[in-house]
Structure 1
Amino acid sequence: MSLGKKAPHLLIHFEDGKTLYVNGHHNQYECWQAGDDDGDGWLMVAMPGDDIAYWEPED
């Protein structure tokens, strides 16, 4: 998994050689988010303005 250098495009490279590309640029909306959905884990979000926000467990 990697992020783009100028915008937080999400690239996931699979063992079979295929790549999943998710656009990470939008001026007004979050483009994607990845993380643990139970509310106690980590979360990473592609924010407007090409920023990344992340939250991690307190433990």
Structure 2
Amino acid sequence: MYRGDRSRKKLLVNYGFRLPSPLKTDHSNLKNFESYDFQTVYVSATPGHMKSRNQIILLSKL
């Protein structure tokens, strides 16, 4: 998904439909996204497996 999204953005930049800044700050892969230290608490009414697993870690940090 990451490479396909990056390829699409690159094509749009080349044809002038998008600014080149998203190519420099692309955070669409999960590993990069999870590495950020967000200050917001998100709550889901129906958490999935990944959210349930990470929720215990986050709650212990609070």
TM-score, normalised by the number of residues in structure 2: 0.21
Which structure has more RCO (C-alpha within 8 Å, separation ≥ 6)? 1
Indicate the structure with greater strand content: 1
Indicate the structure with greater helix content: 2
TM-score, normalised by the number of residues in structure 1: 0.21
